[in-house]
Amino acid sequence: MKLALVAGTTLLAAAVPRANAQISSTALIDKLEQKGILSADEAKELRSESAQSDTNLINQLPASKWKLANSIKSIGLYGDFRLRYEYRGTDNAMGASPDTYYRERMRYALRVGLRGDLYDDFSYGLRVETSNNPRSPWDTFGNNSTAGSVTPSDKNSSGLYLGQAFLNWHPEAWYEMTVGRMPMPLYTTPMVWDSDINPEGAFEKFKYTIGNVDLFADFGQFDYQDPGSANRYVSSDIFLLSWQMGANVHLTKDASFKVAPVVYTYTGNGTASSGIGQIFVGQGDANGLNPGVPGGASQQALNQEGINSLLILEIPAEFNFMIHNTPMGDLQARFFGDFAYNFQGDDRAASAYHANPAAFPGLSGPASGKNFAYQAGFGIGSAGPVYGPTQGLVYGSTSKKNTWEARVYWQHIEQYALDVNLIDSDFFEGRGNLEGIYSAFSYSITDAIIGTIRYGYASRIDDRLGTGGNNLDIPGINPIKNFNLVQMDLTWRF
């Protein structure tokens, strides 16, 4: 009887998957010994035979061909694949032909990355994405970009580009530093920074908690542009410097308030050929025409992207609270907003006016006082997900089956308030001198699939000024009178 049990136990151990074989067989032998079916010597002998059997089985398996460096502590795959229907429409303000221009597209975007921990308080991240546009990872179905080609499904624009590559060092709980091309590390909103931009350079964060208040200080040194051979000295690189101090106050268990003022300034000199190093003009040509409008005028546009006279204060903030026991269960809600002011906006207006007074027929001098931008909104959604300026189901940063989120905000950006090279290229088309409403709703169909719909409408603030800025989606139209945006996304998040 005992011999049969010993043989059966050995066969059972061999049949258990190798990851659990030693644990399962040992537990069974212990139980048989406790019940007196096996003597202590028999149990000891069987444990030895079982361990040897497991060793032989493992030794017979082929070695893994995937090798990791000894410095890598952990590694994880992450990313998303998104499909989109999009409509963008504009009404031109100057009566050029055509007076309305729109684009209707089916689009896709893929982002795939690796991230994890290294030893000795380091972590890392690498990510590739479709499109080489810094403000958009999206590519367009049927995009025929090969010269002379009329073949459908052209792949010339369907490449993968390095979107993120960074190292993070966190030697203490109160300090961390990141270098490379990194996810946006500042607490900010798409009013000032497009959520697709991954700044390059260095970033330092300090944080400390006092009672119910989480304090933090952020410092960024981002390389804005490398002039290359156009300038002789390395010091002529443009750097965008940022200083931010903030606090997240936990008012109660279910309510918190966060605010984090940040100051931006620029150093160095850019290249005139890129437009960034030129004096900002921010208006159509002297005849009031629309440079670049399809079928319209073809005159060269005056500079819209110059970074002279930018010293910006931004104050993003949000108030978060819970709503309990609704028919939809517990909900998370938030009031949020942003305010920005360019202390050198009047100088920027003077540079624009004096460079080409004929382009401002409605003005007898610089349009001073156009230096403000603000955003105010409300969001609500299922309890559980993390929400923020660019976090939540609307931005595809989180998903759980049957969760949902809705948000809406009003936004106002005056002509000389912000750096138009950074603002969101979807809502407002990356332009200044526009104001309007943005809304979005998302629902998580599964733990990985999210459906989202967005709508935005904007109109010109000051009819005497252009709508400064530039974007590849609807290039060259200035001024924009009205702007409409519709997006419907299906996102697979992994």
- Cα 52–54–59 angle (5° rounding)? 95
Tens digits of residue pLDDT in 242-276: 999 999 999 999 999 999 999 999 987 656 655 66
Beta-strand ranges (E) seen in 229-326 are: 238-252, 255-259, 262-267, 312-326
Domain residue ranges in the chain: 2-60, 76-493
- CA-to-CA separations, 3 to 10, 21, 29, 184, in angstroms, rounded: 11, 21, 13, 67
Q: What is the 8-class DSSP label of residue 388? A: B
Structure tokens at 212: 């119910």
pLDDT (0 to 100) of residue 59: 65
Contact present, 130 and 159 (Cβ < 8 Å): yes
Tens digits of residue pLDDT in 442-457: 999 999 999 999 999 9
- Label residue 322 by pLDDT band (50, 70, 90): very high
Classify residue 433 as left (phi > 0), alpha (psi -120 to 50) or beta.
Answer: left
Residue identified by tokens 């952990």 is 74
The more confident residue out of 13 and 78 is: 78
Instruction: Give the CATH fold of the 76-493 domain.
Output: Porin (2.40.160)
* Least confident range of 64-73, 187-196, 412-421: 64-73
